[in-house]
């Protein structure tokens, strides 16, 4: 029997003789191996010791979509997808959305504890002091095509922002990292508003540091012609809760992009620009826009059953439904359902809401969706809320990005402060040609 203990020690953990092991027999050689188990996982590198002969590279694990691969240890966020549980630093999402404010939750995500009053005041002051946007960013917003998708605009601006702060390259310095984190939390809403105002043809706007983080964001988005945006308090509260609900979600596609890109030690602005690019896609954060576009394709309640059929027969996906991790319900969707009720009371009735409710009702009774454990996710109703606030669908994913920035930078900081972090570099199974000889141009 061979032990892969040596590889385990080299990679991540120490092992003692009482440690649980997975015993695996390789039918190609008849050899049996002991793979140490820690936290219900085996180390992928331990598989490398399983070889047919000495020349063999060793076994790898195959996991397209990384559906069953742990990429590291993290203390930021806990999800139990089977039970529909989401917690940041041990606090339940339902309680945070009900009782917290966005900056308070951002501090919690970043630092691991709820802030006391003095800590929160200091954090607010730090963020406010960092809201001064470099003049070049305004110039950049002016030259970008106003019809460009707002997420493409944000991705470009986040990346360009890194060029304004060359000190950010010192990614192994904790102090420097903290400074960039504050800048990114402070400036992402400003960049989002710059892009929004450019698209809507609105003039420049001053930040209002005396407002809350969310209040200032809404002011930058909505105030026009010298007139202050006058949003019902229920709507500002709903926006704040939406930002909290979207703040963090462990190893999702965009956080994984931030981690993978950040692992090259590039500055954090490039890393979060990659995160924003990942979020942009309709299977991830772009789903909130896609839900509204889907609702626009359904004219009346009578058309809903046929639309559901088209989702079942593979013509399209029911956007805002399904999740890689949640197989019972998405706890964020439940909170959003309650928020939606408060928002729709304060706004004009939206005929799309009835269509969404009918889609949900029919899907939740249909074996296609129930057997595949497809439930409404965070994005099913969030777009309707943004829409009720007067925003266009193309802006929705930008709001998600503003909220998720704290999750991205916290993952980046956690990763960069871990001395064991290595550049992310997966393997592949090569399916191309075997080596062949060069063919001269005239012979092709
Ligand atoms: N509509 C119809 N069928 C679906 C849907 C859907 N929305 N989602 C999954 N399925 C089917 C899929 O066709 C497959 O069926 P079969 O087993 O017959 O091939 C089965 O369910 C499993 O789907 P999958 O694509 O293997 O699941 P995944 O874990 O790879 O994908 C997902 C998760 C969220 C990308 C997917 O459910 C989806 O595309 N949903 C719609 C887009 C959406 O709402 N995304 C937002 C996610 S929440 C916000 C965030 O990103 O955090």
Number of other CB atoms surrounding residue 281 within 10 Å: 15
Classify burial at 275, counting beta carbons within 10 Å of its beta carbon; exposed 0-12, middle 13-18, buried 19 or more.
Answer: buried
For ligand 1, what atom is nearest to the CA of residue 291? 44
Please identify, by atom number, the ligand 1 atom nearest to the C-alpha of residue 380: 44
Query: Which residue out of 322, 364, 404 has the highest number of ligand 1 atoms within 8 Å of its CB and is therefore the one to mutate?
Result: 322
Residues near ligand 1 (Cβ within 6 A)? 65, 249, 252, 283-285, 287, 311, 317-324, 372, 374, 377-379
Query: How many A from CA of 71 to the centre of ligand 1?
Result: 22
| Cβ–Cβ under 8 Å, residues 281 and 155 | no
Q: How far is the CA of 281 from the centre of ligand 1 (A)?
A: 13
Maximum C-alpha span of the chain: 79
What is the domain extent for residue 32? Answer: 2-70
Same domain flag for 10 and 136: no
Q: Can you give the pLDDT at residue 203?
A: 85
Please tell me the number of Cα atoms within 13 Å of 405 on its side-chain side: 29
Query: Which residues are registered as beta bridge partners of 212?
Result: none
pTM (2 decimals)? 0.93
Q: Are residues 122 and 66 in the same domain?
A: no
Helix (H, G, I), strand (E, B) or coil at 53: coil
**pLDDT, average across residues 320-327:** 94
44 and 130: one domain? no
Token pair of 397, please?
A: 């994913």
pLDDT of residue 334 exceeding 80, the answer is: yes
Question: What's the structural domain count of the chain?
Answer: 2
Residue nearest to ligand 1 atom 36, measured at CA: 322
Q: What is the pLDDT of residue 15?
A: 56
223: left (phi over 0), alpha (psi -120 to 50) or beta: beta
Contact predicate 333/385, CB 8 Å: no
- pLDDT tens for residues 174-186? 999 999 999 999 9
Query: Which positions are annotated as active-site residues?
Result: 284, 323, 379
Do 309 and 389 lie in one domain? The reply is yes
Q: Where is the domain boundary, 36, 70, 104?
A: 70
- Whole-number pLDDT of residue 4: 55
Q: Are residues 63 and 90 in the same domain?
A: no
Q: At what angle do helices 174-200 and 213-222 cross, to 10 degrees?
A: 30
Residue 332 backbone zone (phi > 0: left; psi -120 to 50: alpha; other: beta): alpha
Both 64 and 98 in a single domain? no
Ranking 224-238, 277-291, 312-326 by mean pLDDT, the lowest is 224-238
Residue 326 is classified by DSSP as: -
Q: Are residues 91 and 172 in the same domain?
A: yes
Q: Distance, CA 197 to ligand 1 centroid (Å)?
A: 33
Cβ neighbours of residue 411 closer than 8 Å, sequence gap 6 or more: 74, 76, 255, 258, 259
Give the distance from CA 348 to its chain's centroid. Answer: 31
Burial of 94 (0-12, 13-18, 19+ CB in 10 A): middle
Mean pLDDT for 419-435 is 97
Q: Which pLDDT belongs to residue 233?
A: 86
Distance from the alpha carbon of residue 78 to the mean position of ligand 1, in angstroms: 21
Tell me what pLDDT residue 2 has: 62
Confidence of residue 195 (pLDDT cuts 50, 70, 90): very high
């Amino acid at each position: 029997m061979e032990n892969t203990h040596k590889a385990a020690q080299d990679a991540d953990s120490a092992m003692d003789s009482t440690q649980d092991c997975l015993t695996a027999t390789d039918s190609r050689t008849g050899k049996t191996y002991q793979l140490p188990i820690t936290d219900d996982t085996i180390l992928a590198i331990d598989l490398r010791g399983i070889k047919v002969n000495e020349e063999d590279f060793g076994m790898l694990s195959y996991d397209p979509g990384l559906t069953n691969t742990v990429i590291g240890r993290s203390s930021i966020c806990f999800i139990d997808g089977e039970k529909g549980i989401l917690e940041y630093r041990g606090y339940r999402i339902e309680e945070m959305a009900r009782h917290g404010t966005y900056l308070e939750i951002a501090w919690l995500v970043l630092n691991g504890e709820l802030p006391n009053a003095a800590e929160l005041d200091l954090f607010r002051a730090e963020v406010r002091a960092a809201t001064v946007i470099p003049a070049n960013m305004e110039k950049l917003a002016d030259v970008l095509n106003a019809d460009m998708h707002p997420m493409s605009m944000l991705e470009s601006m986040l990346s360009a922002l890194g060029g304004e702060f060359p000190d950010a390259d010192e990614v192994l310095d904790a102090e420097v990292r903290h400074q960039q984190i504050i800048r990114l939390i402070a400036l992402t809403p400003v960049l989002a508003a710059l892009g929004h105002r450019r698209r809507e043809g609105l003039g420049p706007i001053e930040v209002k540091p005396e407002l809350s983080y969310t209040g200032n964001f809404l002011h930058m988005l909505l105030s026009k012609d010298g007139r202050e945006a006058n949003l019902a308090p229920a709507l500002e509260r709903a926006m704040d809760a939406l930002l909290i609900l979207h703040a963090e979600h462990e190893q999702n596609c965009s956080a994984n992009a931030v981690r993978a890109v950040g692992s090259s030690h590039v500055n954090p602005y490039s890393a979060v620009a990659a995160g924003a690019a990942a979020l942009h896609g309709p299977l991830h954060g772009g789903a909130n826009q896609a839900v509204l576009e889907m609702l626009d394709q359904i004219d009346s309640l009578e058309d809903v059953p046929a639309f559901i059929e088209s989702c079942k027969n593979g013509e399209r996906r029911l956007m805002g439904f399904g999740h890689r991790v949640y197989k019972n319900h998405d706890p964020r969707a439940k909170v959003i359902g309650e928020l939606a009720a408060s928002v729709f009371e304060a706004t004009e009735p939206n005929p799309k809401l009835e269509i969404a409710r009918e889609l949900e009702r029919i899907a939740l009774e249909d074996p296609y969706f129930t057997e595949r454990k497809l439930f409404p996710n965070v994005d099913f109703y969030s777009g309707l809320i943004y829409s009720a606030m007067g925003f266009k669908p193309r802006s929705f994913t930008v709001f998600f990005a503003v909220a998720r920035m704290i999750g991205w930078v916290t993952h980046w900081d956690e990763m960069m402060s871990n001395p064991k972090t290595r550049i992310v570099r997966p393997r592949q199974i090569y399916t191309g040609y075997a080596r062949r000889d060069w063919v001269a141009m005239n012979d092709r």
